[in-house]
């Protein structure tokens, strides 16, 4: 089976598919700063820098023209911000990226199609781009399965609920069965995943482990994390002098912000700001800092030899947080391969 990874970013989906045995030909993404990360970690897959909204389907022919369509998998993990609760007007232009992806599906009618996104994609009202996409696939003779999966139930040390859509015109590909949880293998925890990494101070870079870098903290935020109890503590333990103005007067919401992760639970869902103490429960369970970029990568199930490159530390954090967890992608790849020739 051969694959094209649309909206490939740093290559989490590609790496998982390759690990499963799927031959990924190339990934497509608008963000050129992802190219070095993608290509250096996913050889022989290539990176095609393009905006899907202006790319002509015929431009893919030199890459895939000789591959039988029934052996092709088109995978798309479009930017999810337009479908989250935090969506904003500036993201509305991205809402039809699924529609753009459908142009390529209609042109090539691959044997297999996969979509990963936030659950909110399926909740958009009316005849949404997602519902139109499903109608297109039905018209092309595809059968599909869809469901909400949690990455922690598939070997990923992170609670991350995602919409999974699996489609085929060859045969039915079922949603994969859970691997981790009650009665199954134990959930993989933060302790299992990052305990072995050397300690860091805020702002420190490990000289030997790629991307093991912890963001610096302003003096007041360093005091805040020092006053946050280890192993799941949060801002409710701070003295009044450290409380943010927006959290005064008895405000009890957003207790994850500035919080620490728990050692013996999966991590919370990582975002593109996963190295920032003020953007979620991204504090290290006991060290006085936010998690490092390498710790975030491990929590996304990237191996340590998967090295991230980018124009800034913030961009690398964005690459990591936006990636499809590698182990979840591998499970999906194995599901396609094991059912492709039934």
Q: Torsions phi, psi of 148, nearest 5?
A: -100, 115
Band of the pLDDT at 252, cuts 50, 70, 90? confident
Active site annotation includes 80 = yes
Which residues are CB-contacts of 246 (< 8 A; sequence separation ≥ 6)?
none
pLDDT of 94 reads 43
Per-residue pLDDT, averaged over 270-279, amounts to 96
In the CATH scheme, what is the homologous superfamily, with its name and number, of domain 2-182+323-340?
A: Vaccinia Virus protein VP39 (3.40.50.150)
**How far is 337 from 329, CA to CA, in rounded Å?**
12
pLDDT tens profile 26-42: 999 999 999 999 999 99
Query: What SS3 state is found at 76?
Result: strand
- The model carries a pTM of 0.93
Residue 337 has which token pair? 């391969």
Q: Are 197 and 191 in contact (CB under 8 A)?
A: no
Q: Return the number of other C-beta atoms located less than 10 Å from residue 208's C-beta.
A: 6
Which one of the listed residues 34, 80, 246, 274 is annotated catalytic? Answer: 80
pLDDT tens per residue across span 163-189: 999 999 999 999 999 999 999 999 999
Q: What is the mean pLDDT of residues 48-59?
A: 95
């Amino acid at each position: 089976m051969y694959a094209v990874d649309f909206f490939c970013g740093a290559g989490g989906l590609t790496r998982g598919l390759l690990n499963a045995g799927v031959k990924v030909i190339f990934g497509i993404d608008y963000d050129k700063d992802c190219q070095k990360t993608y290509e250096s970690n996913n050889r022989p897959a290539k990176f095609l820098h393009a905006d899907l909204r202006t790319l002509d389907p015929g431009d893919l022919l030199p890459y895939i023209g000789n591959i039988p369509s029934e052996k092709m998998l088109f995978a798309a993990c479009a930017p999810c911000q337009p479908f989250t609760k935090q969506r904003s007007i500036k993201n509305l232009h991205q809402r039809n990226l699924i529609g753009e992806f459908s142009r390529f599906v209609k042109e090539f009618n691959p044997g297999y199609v996969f979509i990963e996104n936030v659950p909110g994609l399926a909740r958009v009202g009316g005849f949404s781009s997602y519902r139109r996409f499903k109608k297109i696939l039905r018209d092309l003779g595809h059968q599909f399965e869809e469901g909400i999966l949690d990455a922690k139930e598939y070997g990923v040390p992170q609670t991350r609920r995602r919409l999974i859509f699996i489609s085929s015109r060859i045969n039915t590909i079922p949603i994969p069965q859970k691997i981790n949880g009650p009665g199954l293998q134990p959930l993989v925890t933060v302790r299992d995943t990052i305990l072995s990494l050397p300690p860091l101070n805020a702002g420190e870079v490990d000289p030997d482990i790629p991307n093991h870098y912890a963001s610096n903290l302003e003096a007041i935020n360093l005091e805040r994390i020092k006053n946050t109890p280890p192993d799941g503590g949060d801002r409710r333990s701070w003295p009044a002098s450290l409380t943010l103005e927006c959290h005064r007067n008895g405000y009890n919401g957003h207790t994850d912000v500035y919080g620490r992760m728990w050692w013996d639970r999966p991590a919370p869902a990582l975002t593109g700001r996963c190295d920032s103490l003020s953007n979620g429960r991204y504090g290290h369970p006991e060290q006085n800092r936010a998690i490092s970029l390498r710790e975030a990568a491990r929590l996304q199930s990237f191996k340590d030899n998967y090295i991230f490159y980018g124009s800034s530390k913030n961009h690398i954090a964005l690459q990591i947080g936006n990636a499809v967890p590698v182990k979840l992608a591998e499970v999906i790849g194995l599901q396609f391969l094991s059912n492709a020739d039934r």
